[in-house]
């Protein structure tokens, strides 16, 4: 057996660290390395002056409301499940909350100035549902709408396309008290909210995402219970919540299309963890591809929740649940009423993929996928997540093959242990190296014909990382939480150079 892949040295440090390290992306010639060089598999020979990415590729960063906004009780905002959950003792690392977070609600202008300096062409944010509708339904909080309207205006004035997510986990508490995502009323409520937002912003916002990471959301909220509202439900109940979440997505797509002032580009942001071939053998590649979309029963348990992909994608993009998953779930499969699959399966313009990594798989003697443990000492981010850039090649490629839509990378990034150095700067070489490797893998997918809309780095700012509080720094911009002072990290300067080089006329 060939040794499992690892991400050993592919590029020199200088290539990634120098500002001209931006050329890492046009550094398209494979290194004359050994036969199984990772770099050789990540790149293919093209002109060194050609950008691997399409014209109008969006370069941006992503965030979410509860993780950055703060102003938890200001200007008429209602409470979300996170406002309640974070205040419960023992739920969040160090007892932190998102009450103030990055204070983006008051500092967005400063943050947009940083984005402009970096040359970002897109910014993904989410709207807090209870900021718009304090009770989730009923009366609209005009001050909430006004905030997002000002934000959109300021982004456009800076030449940055707003990418608006309707739901990134902060369910209105009032709706949770009416059983929230277990209620068949939720799709209607979410659709009504989507209509209000579309009417208010779609004259200026063209890119929309309905729901962020339904898999992680249901997993954290209702399976493991480590995220708000912190429930551990029986399998039949959490699968019902998943089905209702899909219905809510469908109703939101209908509502945006019906209320938009101009043609809308609508997607759905799914976290995708592809299986990755442990070696380059055709058998391992085929096994990994198959395993990426297969649904064994253990994928629906707390332990392997994060590996399931097809359940969260097939209904939305193909209009059906994977047969293997329905069979595996048996009586715990959700009840599907007449018309449900049609509502869920709305035409979409792109597939939003949040890709952080994948799992190693090889073919057994019969060609069936078999998990392979990561070798000792495998590279890890500060969060302990494996660094597997191949996910950013296999993921988009296999997603496009199966669902035939353009791919928009709506999240990718890593946490690292960043601090302010004696020179007053924040040096984060690991984020630069991580991002360069993943972008090279994405470039490979692009060269092989996968249509790509853009890449949004998670995250613009260090922020509130859910149950981890402020311990996981994912930002391109450092936030000193006591003062909320911002300092662009080295990676922000590097990313700016990548964007400049890749979108410059000479590279087109």
Residues annotated as catalytic (active site), given as ranges: 213, 411
212 binds ligand FCB (CB under 6 A): yes
DSSP one-letter string for 281-338 = -HHHHHHHHHHHT---GGGGSTTTGGG--HHHHHHHHHSS--HHHHHHHGGGSPP--T
Task: Rank residues 396 and 475 by Cβ distance to ligand FCB and give the closer one.
Answer: 475
How far apart are CB 458 and ligand FCB at their closest, in Å? 5
Residue from 96, 271, 390, 490 in contact with ligand FCB (CB under 6 A) = 271
Part in contact with ligand FCB (CB under 6 A); list of ranges 31-39, 210-218, 286-294, 364-372: 210-218
Report in angstroms how near the CB of residue 385 gets to ligand FCB at its nearest.
9
Distance CA 289, CA 272 (A): 13
Q: Which of 445, 322, 454 is nearest to 395 (CA)?
A: 445
d(CA 99, CA 155) in angstroms, rounded, equals 24
The rounded distance, in Å, linking the Cα atoms of 209 and 207 is 7
Q: Which helix (H) or strand (E) holds 353?
A: strand 351-354
Contact call for residue 126 and ligand FCB (CB under 6 A) = no
Residue 104 as a binder of ligand FCB (CB under 6 A): the answer is no
- Residue 121 or 212 having the CB closest to ligand FCB: 212
Q: Is 474 in the site for ligand FCB (CB under 6 A)?
A: yes
Which of these ranges, 178-186, 211-219, 314-322, 416-424, lies near ligand FCB under the rule CB under 6 A? Answer: 211-219
The residue (of 105 and 458) whose beta carbon lies closer to ligand FCB is 458
Total number of residues that touch ligand FCB (CB under 6 A)? 12
Cis geometry, peptide bond prior to residue 29 (ω within 30 degrees of 0): no
Please state the closest distance from residue 412 (CB atom) to ligand FCB, in A. 9
Q: Is 462 in the site for ligand FCB (CB under 6 A)?
A: no
Q: Which two tokens stand for residue 88?
A: 């419960």
Distance CA 442, CA 45 (A): 15
Q: Which sign, positive or negative, has the C-alpha torsion 212, 378, 376, 470?
A: negative
Considering only residues 30 to 69 of the shown chain, the ones binding ligand FCB according to CB under 6 A are 64, 67
Residue 282-321 contact track with ligand FCB, rule CB under 6 A, x = bound: ----------------------------------------
Cα R_g (the chain), whole angstroms: 22
In angstroms, the CA 318 to CA 123 distance is 29
Q: Which of 465, 494, 495, 507 binds ligand FCB (CB under 6 A)?
A: 465
Residue 307 or 345 having the CB closest to ligand FCB: 307
DSSP states along 419-476? ---TTS----HHHHHHHHHHHHHHHHHHHTT--EEEEEEE-SB----GGGTT--B--S
Return residues touching ligand FCB (CB under 6 A): 64, 67, 212-213, 216, 271, 354, 411, 458, 465-466, 474
């Amino acid at each position: 057996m060939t040794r499992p892949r690892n991400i050993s040295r592919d590029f020199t440090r200088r290539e990634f660290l120098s500002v001209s390290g931006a050329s890492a992306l046009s550094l398209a010639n494979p290194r004359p390395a050994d036969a199984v060089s990772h770099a050789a598999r990540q790149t293919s020979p093209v002109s060194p002056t050609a950008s691997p990415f399409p014209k109008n590729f969006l370069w941006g960063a992503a965030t979410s409301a509860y993780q950055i906004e703060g102003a938890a009780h200001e200007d008429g905002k209602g409470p979300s499940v996170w406002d309640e959950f974070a205040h419960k003792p023992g739920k969040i690392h160090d007892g932190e909350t998102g009450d103030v977070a990055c204070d983006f609600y008051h500092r967005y202008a400063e943050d947009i100035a940083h984005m402009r300096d970096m040359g970002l062409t897109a910014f993904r944010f989410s709207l807090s549902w209870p900021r718009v509708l304090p009770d989730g339904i009923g009366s609209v909080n005009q001050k909430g709408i006004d905030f997002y309207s000002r934000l959109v205006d300021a982004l456009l004035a800076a030449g940055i396309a707003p990418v608006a997510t309707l739901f990134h986990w902060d369910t209105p508490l009032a709706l949770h008290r009416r059983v929230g995502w277990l209620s068949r009323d939720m799709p209607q409520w979410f659709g009504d909210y989507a209509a209000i937002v579309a009417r208010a912003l779609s004259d200026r916002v063209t890119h929309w995402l309905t729901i962020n990471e339904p898999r992680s959301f249901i997993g954290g909220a209702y399976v493991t219970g480590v995220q708000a509202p912190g429930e551990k439900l029986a399998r039949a109940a959490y699968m019902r919540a998943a089905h209702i979440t899909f219905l809510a997505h469908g109703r939101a797509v209908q509502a945006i299309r019906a209320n938009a002032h101009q043609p809308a580009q609508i997607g759905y942001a799914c976290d995708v963890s592809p299986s990755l071939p442990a070696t380059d053998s055709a058998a391992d590649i085929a096994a990994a591809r198959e395993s990426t979309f297969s649904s064994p029963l253990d994928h629906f348990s707390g332990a392997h929740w994060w590996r399931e992909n097809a359940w969260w994608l097939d209904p939305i993009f193909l209009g059906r649940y994977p047969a293997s998953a329905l069979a595996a779930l048996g009586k715990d499969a959700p009840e599907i009423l007449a018309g449900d699959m049609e509502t869920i399966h709305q035409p979409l313009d792109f597939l939003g993929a949040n890709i952080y990594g994948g799992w190693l798989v090889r073919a057994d003697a019969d060609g069936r996928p078999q998990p392979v443990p990561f070798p000792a000492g495998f590279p890890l981010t500060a969060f302990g997540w494996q660094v597997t850039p191949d996910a950013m090649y296999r993921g988009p490629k296999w997603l496009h093959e199966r669902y035939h839509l353009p791919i928009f990378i709506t999240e990718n990034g890593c946490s690292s242990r960043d601090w302010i150095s004696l020179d007053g700067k924040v040096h984060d070489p690991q984020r630069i190296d991580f991002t360069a490797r993943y972008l090279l893998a994405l470039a490979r997918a692009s060269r092989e014909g996968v249509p790509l809309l853009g890449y949004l780095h998670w995250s613009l700012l260090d922020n509130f990382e859910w149950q981890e509080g402020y311990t996981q720094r994912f930002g391109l911009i450092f936030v000193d939480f006591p003062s909320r002072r911002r300092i662009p990290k080295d990676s922000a300067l590097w990313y700016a150079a990548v964007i400049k080089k890749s979108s410059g006329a000479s590279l087109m």
